[in-house]
Amino acid sequence: MIQDILDEIRRGTTTVRGLSKKLKVEKSALEGMLRYMLRKGMIRELHPECRPKGCRGCPYKGKCDQMPVVGYELADDS
Amino acid sequence: MTAKRSITVALAGNPNSGKTSIFNALTGAKQSVGNWPGVTVEKKEGRFNYQGHAVTVVDLPGTYALDAYTLDERVAREYLVTEKPDAVVAVVDASNLERNLYLVAQLLELGATVVVALNMVDIARSRGIDIDTVRLEKVLGVRVVTTVASKGMGIEALKRVVHDIDRKPPPRGTKIAYGRDIEAGIEQLVESIVATWPDREGQARWLALKLLEGDPEAEALVADDERGTVVTEVLEEVRRWLGRHLDVDLETAVVERRYGFLNGVARECTRRRPSLTRRLTVTDRIDSVVTNRWFGIPIFLLLMWGTFQLVFTVGAPLSGYIEQFFGWLGGAVSSLLASAQAPAWLVSMLVEGVIGGVGSVLVFVPNIVILFLVISLLEESGYMARAAFVMDRFMHLLGLHGKSFIPMIIGFGCNVPAIMATRTLESRKDRILTILVNPLMSCSARLPVYILFAGVFFARHRGLVVFSLYLLGIVLAVLVARLFKRLFFKSEAAPLIMEMPPYHLPTVRSILVHMWERAWLFVRKAGTIIALASVAIWLMASLPWGVEYASEASVIGRIGGVVAPLLKPAGFGYWWAAVSLTAGIVAKEIVVSTMGAIHGAGPEGLADVLSRTFTPLSAYAFMVMSLVYIPCIATIAAIKRETNWKWAGLAVGYTMVLGWVLAVAVYQVGSLFA
């Protein structure tokens, strides 16, 4: 299953929803697998870019670690 | 078997599975709250009586697994391993069965007596998901009770099953088969564990699996006991053997097969009613169109085109009012100063230089505001993430990193933050490449040039013309990136998995704040850099003293006269056009303000001058030049800051050459057909 996810990512950019449909895995289960892959360093999380004006007015000011995940990318050695 | 007078049940479950509702429904007001030993994680205990028997319920922290990687997981696992409750009620969210079963599988591996509370079945049904509980019981080897805790449904049945645990023990939990290779390893380890610690027989398989997964706590447990040497030796041998037989690391192999098993269980026990599962959410419906393989890019382009139509149709009348205001202001200041007998140079500087220059830029504020209104609407609604996704496919076809498109979209606003946004690209090569092509994304500072020229020469198709320039910027960025990739960076682009946020209606406040930030930035620039540049241009257009203002004999006229011949093949070899482009390197808005300051006539008069000197073809060539040639100083500084002088120099050099080549090509090729 995890190998299938890696293979699908290597095949081209996709969405979590698209991947869940393709692999016939429940989206939440896929998210669990992605969590595991993150912990293992197979993939990296992508977060939104910081605002040009810095933290001022940013809803995540002081809590950057809570910024939503906008995607994942393969780690260099995956 | 004799029933115990009192039994203890642990309540386990994923976060948001409804565990707290079940706990409250089971125990009511009979709850006590404290902390788990040694940590600040809240521990809740409650009690209920059923047919004269007391049942203590211990609410474990919400976890997705028992892997001991988070504090909650460690607390839950520690309790289950050391306290060995009589049963564990695993609260499972029926609408997310597959994921929730992961914890159930680990509870079974731990040797716990598990009762599954299949919660939120109403939500699952409303989504067209029916779970065959009889089959689920059989496949997992556990009791399954369906519940809707929020409505108190199924709670009595759950109490009964929990109460009957001693009298009617549930079936023995199913053992996940991890494949012959791993199973052989587990078997060897179980044998050595049982031989070493006979009292751990019930948890031997779980411990073996944890050791194979490289669980640090399990390893410490073995290492800390001198009797564990044999187990460690067996573990090393098994790991070596499996390492030779598995394609992936041992932990991943175990996790993968566990997920594979659970995927099978979920499929076997779930029936999806097509009539309801096909009932798509609003987000699904929109996404099925806007991220469609064939429609995605045309829709993105259509939205861009529509944006520029809106920028013109709504912006033009508003710009007209501002234009009239500056016309009036120029006249009023002129009269006021004349009546105060101010020197002629001061009148000229303020009216022709400052008001003419700044005014010619500020008339575009409504257009800028509308552009950012639409961009922030698209961003806040969640569409921009889709745009990045659909364009990502296109970019990958050209060997570019998909993430590079996000800074490129930011570049529509301003190239400086866009270049800073490339910091999110981990690969240095991708980062440099994206930085190098970012100046080709048409920032809002170029918009005044487009609006002015498109308005004068392509009045009926001005939206389309501006759209074509934005599109040209994207196409050029892609082509240049492709070229640089071949020349300087030979590596493959890494694909992504993108998380699409659900669509939502943006709040008026967030839209207004975003719009205001951008508009204010533009106005502030007009009041500072552009005003100063306008005075400088006025001064150069007035020197040497006594020369006709903004004539070819002035300093600025002479400078322009040197550069102008180079621009002649592009159809705009006028000294003032050359000066405007040169001054525009300071900030792109200054291209227009310089023309305003030189001709000192405000946008209306400027339009007259342009229509007398340019043709539609040379006007388009000028816009192409403005789009491509040398980035503004702030952008060059940002490139240098993020890379080094070498790459900043390359950005300046290639944009200068490319801008000139394209402008000449547009004019010369166009002349063949004109």
Rounded to two decimals, the ipTM of the complex is 0.80
Bridge partners of residue A14, in order along the sequence: B497
Asked if residue B171 is part of any domain, the answer here is no
Q: Enumerate the residues of chain B whose CB falls inside 8 A of the CB of residue A58.
A: none
pLDDT the model gives residue B403: 63
Q: Average pLDDT over chain B, rounded to whole?
A: 85
Q: How many domains does chain B have?
A: 3
CB contact under 8 A, A52 and B417: yes
Angle between helices B296-339 and B365-381 (to 10 degrees): 150
CB contact under 8 A, A73 and B495: yes
CB contact under 8 A, A49 and B385: no
pLDDT at B31 over 80: no
pLDDT the model gives residue B614: 95
Long-range contacts of the stretch B236-245 (C-beta < 8 A, 24+) = B237/B188, B238/B185, B238/B188, B238/B189, B238/B212, B239/B185, B239/B212, B241/B185, B242/B181, B242/B182, B242/B185, B242/B212, B245/B181
**What integer is the mean pLDDT of B268-288?**
75
CB contact under 8 A, B259 and A29: yes
pLDDT the model gives residue B603: 53
Asked if residue B170 is part of any domain, the answer here is no
Asked if residue B499 is part of any domain, the answer here is no
Nearest by CB to A39, which of B69, B389, B498?
Answer: B69
Angle, vertex CA B387, rays to CA B382 and CA B390, nearest 5: 130
Q: Is the same domain home to B590 and B469? A: yes
Asked if residue B496 is part of any domain, the answer here is no
Q: Enumerate the residues of chain B whose CB falls inside 8 A of the CB of residue A78.
A: none
Q: Is the same domain home to B141 and B184? A: no
CB contact under 8 A, A1 and B102: no
In the DSSP assignment, the letter for residue A66 is G
Q: Closest approach of chain B CAs to the CA of A62, in angstroms?
A: 19
CB contact under 8 A, A43 and B406: no
CB contact under 8 A, B495 and A69: no
Comparison of pLDDT for B30 and B560, the residue scoring more:
B560
For B96, name the nearest residue in chain A, comparing CA atoms only: A28
CB contact under 8 A, A40 and B247: no
**To which H or E segment does residue B666 belong?**
helix B645-673
Asked if residue B428 is part of any domain, the answer here is yes
CB contact under 8 A, B496 and A73: yes
Return d(Cα A2, Cα B247) in angstroms, integer.
Answer: 12
Q: Is the same domain home to B17 and B152? A: yes
Comparison of pLDDT for B611 and B372, the residue scoring more:
B611
Per-residue pLDDT tens digits for B220-229: 888 888 888 8
pLDDT the model gives residue B666: 96
**What integer is the mean pLDDT of B517-527?**
78
**What integer is the mean pLDDT of B492-520?**
76
Q: Say which amino acid occupies B616.
A: P
Nearest by CB to B513, which of A9, A57, A76?
Answer: A57
Q: Closest approach of chain A CAs to the CA of B8, in angstroms?
A: 30
pLDDT the model gives residue B103: 94
- B400-414, B462-476, B520-534, B544-558 — which one is most confidently predicted on average? B462-476
Q: Closest approach of chain A CAs to the CA of B619, in angstroms?
A: 33
Nearest by CB to B499, which of A2, A25, A71?
Answer: A71
Q: Is the same domain home to B378 and B463? A: yes
Q: Enumerate the residues of chain A whose CB falls inside 8 A of the CB of residue B97.
A: 26
Q: Say which amino acid occupies B88.
A: V
Nearest by CB to B495, which of A10, A44, A76?
Answer: A10
User: Contact B73/B59 with Cβ under 8 angstroms?
Assistant: no
pLDDT the model gives residue B159: 92
CB contact under 8 A, A1 and B495: no
Q: Enumerate the residues of chain A whose CB falls inside 8 A of the CB of residue B385.
A: 70
pLDDT at B581 over 90: yes
CB contact under 8 A, B98 and A25: yes
Q: Say which amino acid occupies B578.
A: A
Q: Closest approach of chain A CAs to the CA of B384, in angstroms?
A: 11
| Cα B318–chain centre separation | 34
Q: In Å, how far are B183, B210, B230, B257 from B189, measured between CA atoms?
A: 10, 11, 10, 19
Bridge partners of residue A58, in order along the sequence: none
Q: Is the same domain home to B106 and B220? A: no
User: Contact B184/B222 with Cβ under 8 angstroms?
Assistant: no
pLDDT at B35 over 80: no
pLDDT the model gives residue B50: 87
For A56, name the nearest residue in chain B, comparing CA atoms only: B517
Using the CB atoms, write b or e for B551-571: b if 16+ within 10 Å.
eeebebbebbbeebeebebbb
Domain end (from B217, B243, B277):
B277
pLDDT the model gives residue B616: 95
Nearest by CB to A26, which of B97, B414, B495?
Answer: B97
pLDDT at B1 over 50: no
pLDDT at B278 over 70: no
CB contact under 8 A, A49 and B424: yes
pLDDT at B625 over 90: yes
Q: Closest approach of chain A CAs to the CA of B298, in angstroms?
A: 19
Structure-token pair, residue B204: 């031997």
**What integer is the mean pLDDT of A10-15?**
78
For B514, name the nearest residue in chain A, comparing CA atoms only: A57
Q: Is the same domain home to B453 and B315? A: yes
Q: Closest approach of chain B CAs to the CA of A2, in angstroms?
A: 6
CB contact under 8 A, B259 and A33: yes
Q: Closest approach of chain A CAs to the CA of B385, in angstroms?
A: 8
The architecture that CATH gives domain A2-74 is Orthogonal Bundle (1.10)
Domain end (from B224, B248, B277):
B277
Per-residue pLDDT tens digits for A19-67: 888 888 888 889 888 988 888 888 888 776 665 556 666 666 776 666 6
Q: Is the same domain home to B60 and B206? A: no
pLDDT the model gives residue B652: 95
pLDDT the model gives residue B283: 77
CB contact under 8 A, B98 and A28: yes
**Chain A interface with B: residues with Cβ < 8 Å:** 1-3, 9-17, 19, 24-26, 28-29, 31-36, 39-40, 43-44, 46-47, 49-53, 57, 68-74, 76
pLDDT the model gives residue B657: 97
For residue B448, whether the previous peptide bond is cis, meaning omega lies within 30 degrees of 0, is no
Most A CBs within 10 A among B263, B292, B392, B498, hence the mutation to make, goes to: B498
User: Contact B652/B436 with Cβ under 8 angstroms?
Assistant: no
Helix ranges (H only) for B363-446 are 365-381, 383-397, 405-410, 415-421, 428-437
| Cα B611–chain centre separation | 44
Q: Enumerate the residues of chain A whose CB falls inside 8 A of the CB of residue B252.
A: 2, 40
Bridge partners of residue B58, in order along the sequence: B10, B45
For B416, name the nearest residue in chain A, comparing CA atoms only: A52
pLDDT at B453 over 50: yes
- A36-45, B35-44, B396-405 — which one is most confidently predicted on average? A36-45
pLDDT at B175 over 50: yes
User: Which of the four pLDDT bands, split at 50, 70 and 90, describes residue B277?
Assistant: low
Q: In Å, how far are B11, B16, B72, B218 from B76, measured between CA atoms?
A: 10, 16, 6, 15
pLDDT the model gives residue B597: 80
Return d(Cα B543, Cα B552) in angstroms, integer.
Answer: 11
Return d(Cα B577, Cα B49) in angstroms, integer.
Answer: 90
Tokens 């690209």 label which residue? Answer: B425
CB contact under 8 A, B498 and A16: yes
Q: Is the same domain home to B103 and B234? A: no
Q: Which of B99, B495, B494 lies closest to A35, judged by CA?
A: B99
pLDDT the model gives residue B53: 86
Q: Is the same domain home to B188 and B42? A: no
pLDDT the model gives residue B228: 81
Using the CB atoms, write b or e for B152-162: b if 16+ within 10 Å.
ebbbeebbebb
**What integer is the mean pLDDT of B126-136?**
90
Q: Is the same domain home to B574 and B668? A: yes
Nearest by CB to A71, which of B284, B287, B496?
Answer: B496
Domain end (from B221, B250, B277):
B277
For B249, name the nearest residue in chain A, comparing CA atoms only: A40
Q: Enumerate the residues of chain B whose CB falls inside 8 A of the CB of residue A32.
A: 64-65, 99, 102, 259
Return d(Cα B380, Cα B508) in angstroms, integer.
Answer: 10
Using the CB atoms, write b or e for B516-540: b if 16+ within 10 Å.
ebbbebbbebbeebbbebbbbbbbb
**What integer is the mean pLDDT of B71-99?**
90
Q: Closest approach of chain A CAs to the CA of B109, in angstroms?
A: 19
Q: Is the same domain home to B267 and B326? A: no
pLDDT the model gives residue B420: 73
CB contact under 8 A, A2 and B291: no
Most A CBs within 10 A among B258, B392, B423, B496, hence the mutation to make, goes to: B496
Per-residue pLDDT tens digits for A20-32: 888 888 888 898 8
> Considering chain B, what percentage of its residues have pLDDT values greater than 70?
92
Q: Enumerate the residues of chain B whose CB falls inside 8 A of the CB of residue A76.
A: 426-427
For A14, name the nearest residue in chain B, comparing CA atoms only: B497
Q: Is the same domain home to B536 and B621? A: yes
Backbone angles phi and psi of B145, in degrees to 5:
-120, 125
In the DSSP assignment, the letter for residue B488 is T
Q: Which of B129-133, B235-239, B501-505, B620-624 has the lowest mean pLDDT?
A: B501-505
- Please report, for the domain that includes residue B57, its CATH number: 3.40.50.300
For B413, name the nearest residue in chain A, comparing CA atoms only: A52
pLDDT at B40 over 70: no
Asked if residue B655 is part of any domain, the answer here is yes
Provide the residue range defining the domain that includes B125: 6-163
Q: Enumerate the residues of chain B whose CB falls inside 8 A of the CB of residue A40.
A: 249, 251-252
For A73, name the nearest residue in chain B, comparing CA atoms only: B496
pLDDT the model gives residue B315: 81
pLDDT at B593 over 90: no
pLDDT the model gives residue B179: 87
Using the CB atoms, write b or e for B599-633: b if 16+ within 10 Å.
bbbbbeebbebbeeebbbbbbbbbbbbbbbbbbbe
> Considering chain B, what percentage of its residues have pLDDT values greater than 90?
28
